[in-house]
Amino acid sequence: MEQTVTAIAERVLERLRRVPADQRVLVGIAGVPGSGKSTLAYPLVDRLNALLGVAVKEPAEVDLEDVIAQPGKEKPEEQVAVAVGLDGWHLTREALDRFPDPAEARRRRGAAFTFDASSYVSFVRTLRQTPFPPSIPFPTFDHALKDPLPSPSPILPTHRVVVIEGLYCMLDVEPWREAAELLDERIWVEIDRSVARERLVKRHLHTGVETVREEAEKRVDLSDMLNGDYIREHLYTPTQVVETVDDPAFATPAV
């Protein structure tokens, strides 16, 4: 994974050097469920902040040629790169209960139609605004509450690189398509379908979503795999394809 993260970080940094100081670089990382999107996205942000750690100024003052490598910053206002998870745009359970078939909507939660796509697209549009807004709020997903909550740390003018990871950030379907078109880099994480399935089964068992393997397999086949197939069938053209990164917790053991 180290080489993959380094290569992507260098590519993003080169793009950042070429854009005006009042523009952001937007990076989308997508893949089927279990492909390792988050496993790639957050180390990538850490690497970028390590490379850009001293360029913490107002956008017009940033001189990227003066940037040197140093440990990434921990405070949001001291970061140049930031990660945003698409899970924050899940519809609430209350909203799902207003669907014509609430039980089916809850069972399929995680499918594209169970997200607030219009709000997400509006968020990506705002990231493109110039001059930068003073702050751009966005939602995160609270796994304890099983619903979205506002992020305590909005996007700030110092955030020149925004990495968005999620299933549908590269979906070639309206209204998602507009957001995909606004991304500078669209990174697709490729994985064999059977490997993704096994990871997901193990994940559901590990997190307690299911306690019996047969039920975990059923959940994966009737939800996660359907979502993955839909994404592959409606994928906006990636700018880069990378192989899945190792996931020690859920990867299929070597035979």
Look at residue 209 in the predicted model and tell me its pLDDT. 87
Number of separate helices (H) and strands (E) present in the chain:
9, 7
Q: What share of the chain is helix, strand, coil (3-state, %, to 5)?
A: 45, 15, 40
Mean local confidence (pLDDT), 77-100? 94
CA atoms of 111 and 117, how far apart (whole Å) = 11
Query: Residue 231: is its pLDDT beyond 90?
Result: yes
Dihedral, 40, 48, 179, 233 alpha carbons, nearest 10: -30
Q: What is the pLDDT of residues 1-41, one digit of tens each?
A: 788 999 999 999 999 999 999 999 999 999 999 999 999 99
Look at residue 99 in the predicted model and tell me its pLDDT. 97
Q: Quote the pTM value.
A: 0.87
User: What is the phi-psi region of residue 34: left when phi exceeds 0, alpha when psi lies from -120 to 50, beta otherwise?
Assistant: left
Domain 2-192+237-243, CATH among 3.30.750.24, 1.25.40.80, 3.40.50.300, 3.30.930.10: 3.40.50.300
Q: pLDDT confidence of 53, banded at 50, 70, 90?
A: low
Tokens of 157: 């003018």
